[in-house]
Amino acid sequence: MTIETRRLILRVMREDDLAPLLAIFSDPETMQYYPGTFDEARVRRWIAVNRDRCRTFGFGLFAVVLKETGEVIGDCGVTMQQIDGVIRPELGYHIHKAHQRKGYASEAARACMEMIFTRTTFGELYTYMKHTNAPSYLTAIRNGFTFVQEYDDPVNVRTRVYRITREAWAMQREKEVRA
């Protein structure tokens, strides 16, 4: 599966994505809000797990590639995650620090939202992050997600949760089409 946006291509991860994804996931600044950085073995597993998710479910985390250069700058997609004890479809993204604050996370997230709401029966989509991860929750808010809760979490200390419903997404999409 491949998804194209104005500036990006989201595609199933490949084994040759190891080097660029390792550069992203091993970088302490890029991963500052994540529980830790990844070593090569963990990135290999990350790629394998997400390839398997895409094959099995038709979605997972995709490699985010700049159309202009072909460079892999991150990942974005939907996985099933346990959020405060309940398994929910969760939109997540990691963008390398050199490419942050350029709207790539929002652009990739919107494409994944469209994929989920047009190709699955999910009635809502969630995103969650460490409570101090303002860039991530501001991206969620820009994409129409609303705050749902904050809870204690042994991984993130405190976790913030945002949600968008299929109906809210459809209304937002209709406004964008009319604009």
pLDDT in tens, 69-89: 999 999 999 999 999 999 999
Provide the percentage of residues in the chain whose pLDDT is more than 90. Answer: 91
Tell me, what's the pLDDT at 178? 79
Say if residues 60 and 53 touch (Cβ distance below 8 Å). Answer: yes
Tell me, what's the pLDDT at 126? 98
pLDDT at residue 1 greater than cutoff 90:
no
Report the predicted TM-score, pTM, of the whole model to 2 decimal places: 0.94
For the chain, domain boundaries: 2-178
Domain 2-178, what architecture? 3-Layer(aba) Sandwich (3.40)
DSSP type of residue 12: -
Summary mean pLDDT of the chain:
95
pLDDT at residue 156 greater than cutoff 90:
no
CB atoms within 10 A of CB 72: 23
